[in-house]
Amino acid sequence: MATTDDIIARTAPAKLIDHNLIDRDVESLCDGMVRYEKRPARRLDGSVAEGLYNAWIIFNNPKQYNSYTTDMVKATILAFRRASVDREVNAVVFTAVGDKAFCTGGNTKEYAEYYAGNPQEYRQYMRLFNDMVSAILGCDKPVICRVNGMRIGGGQEIGMACDFSIAQDLANFGQAGPKHGSAAIGGATDFLPVMIGCEQAMVSGTLCEPFSAHKAARLGIICDLVPALKIDGRFVPNPTVITDRMFDEYGRVIHGEFKTGEEFKQGRALLKQGEVDLSLLDEKVEQLCAKLIETFPECMTKSLEELRKPKLDAWNRNKENSRAWLALNMMNEARTGFRAFNEGNKEIGREIDFVKLRQALAKGVPWSEELIESLMPGK
């Protein structure tokens, strides 16, 4: 009776067709700001599965909280295509360098200095952004978002396009659109109602208040979380978040909400005292990759395709309309909001006076360069 190894040796084709779109390193497309690493896949007992890998797609723009530039978006599309067709790849781990931010969305400097006031240019950018989200949702391998830090704005959107999210518990999750001149229609308005229900989706998509990782887990935005803060060598839960009780005195669920007042201040002080260690996050991600490898590959892909449909159907229904609106939005509110963030700072603020804008519009004041300038922080 021939062994599987005998059959491999005897029947494997001498030359395989390369189904990659282009034969270029991902890093060469974006000056290394997106990295593509094939890391050995392991079984649940930790042993290496010879010849099999997990593809790590890593954002590498830490100074700008791993926001993605246009070149990074292009590289990410090709990275997911590369992983999808790579026969040796078992799963994709989508993450970023450092322990502060997974991704805070589109690059506000590029938005403010190049795309603001250029709807035709942003329409072209949004073709790339849409293709990035679709490349994640269409990847033939399971995609795990390793949430190494805050996941905000478009970062939350590409994160929710993944199949699994495992977070370190200091990470926050949320949108920024209506505060910075955009709307979370790059996926969040499609995915959030499906994932957490319309009411909580409305809260997240309009008020732009972040959820803690514990609340994100409770609501269903992520499937697992691990502690990341070490105090005196011992892992502790995020000290700025309520994790030791479920209800307040009125029976309202408070687990995962941020602490307030003196309790929050003490939590912030503890944060400063400790060190961040993502080793438990990596253990949990590797464990999930090992579980995924112990399955039939085509059945896994079919299961992914079917289970993605609630998100995918909403995304496909809206993505082109969203692209068109976001492009035109670059003439007024996005032009104003992203310039405010880019030209502001902690001292003078990074958002406009929303009431002042509303008062002007309530009197029918037309949008003009002069009106936009008057709304910049510190004016």
Ligand X SMILES: CC(C)(COP(=O)(O)OP(=O)(O)OC[C@H]1O[C@@H](n2cnc3c(N)ncnc32)[C@H](O)[C@@H]1OP(=O)(O)O)[C@@H](O)C(=O)NCCC(=O)NCCSC(=O)C1=CCCCC1=O
User: Does residue 339 belong to the site contacting ligand X (CB under 6 A)?
Assistant: no
HSE-CB for 350 with a 13 A CA cutoff = 11
How far apart, in Å, are the Cα atoms of 286 and each of 56, 159, 170, 281, 316? 11, 18, 20, 9, 31
Amino acid identity of 363? K
Minimum CB distance to ligand X smaller for 128 or for 254: 128
Identity of the residue, 248 or 320, whose beta carbon is nearer to ligand X in the bound complex: 320
- Shortest separation between residue 179's beta carbon and ligand X, angstroms: 7
**In the complex, minimum distance from the CB of residue 107 to ligand X, in angstroms, rounded to a whole number:** 4
Q: What is the residue-wise DSSP string for 201-261?
A: HHIIIII-PPEEHHHHHHHTS-SEEE--EEETTEEE--TTB--S-SB-TTS-B-TTSBP-H
> How many whole angstroms separate alpha carbon 175 and alpha carbon 59?
19
Q: What does R_g of the chain's alpha carbons equal in angstroms?
A: 22
Binding map of ligand X across residues 11-50, x = CB under 6 A, - = no contact = ----------------------------------------
Closest residue by beta carbon to ligand X? 105
Per CB under 6 A, contacts with ligand X among 178-217 are 180, 182, 186
Query: Which residue among 144, 196, 213, 326 contacts ligand X (CB under 6 A)?
Result: 326
The piece of 99-107, 219-227, 233-241, 280-288 that touches ligand X (CB under 6 A) is 99-107
Candidate ranges 6-14, 101-109, 245-253, 294-302; the one touching ligand X (CB under 6 A): 101-109
Q: How many CA atoms lie within 13 A of 332 on its CB side?
A: 12
65 is a site residue for ligand X (CB under 6 A): yes
Answer for which of 76, 95, 104, 134 binds ligand X (CB under 6 A) is 104
What sign for the dihedral angle of Cα 362, 364, 368, 371?
negative
Instruction: Choose between 201 and 289: whose C-beta lies nearer to ligand X.
Output: 201
Q: Is residue 188 a contact partner of residue 207, using CB atoms and an 8 Å limit? A: no
Q: Is 92 helix (H, G, I), strand (E, B) or coil?
A: strand
Question: What Å distances lie between residue 280 and 41, 44, 175, CA to CA?
Answer: 18, 15, 27
Stretch that binds ligand X, among 12-20, 152-160, 281-289, 352-360 (CB under 6 A): 152-160
Residue whose C-alpha is closest to residue 159's, from 207, 113, 204: 204
227 binds ligand X (CB under 6 A): no
**# residues near ligand X by CB under 6 A:** 21
352 near ligand X, judged by CB under 6 A: no
Which of 109, 123, 230, 255 touches ligand X by CB under 6 A?
109
Q: Pick the closer one to ligand X by CB: 90 or 165.
A: 165
**Residue selected from 43, 49, 64, 276 as contacting ligand X according to rule CB under 6 A:** 64
Residues near ligand X, by CB under 6 A: 64-65, 67, 104-109, 129, 150, 152-154, 176-177, 180, 182, 186, 326, 341
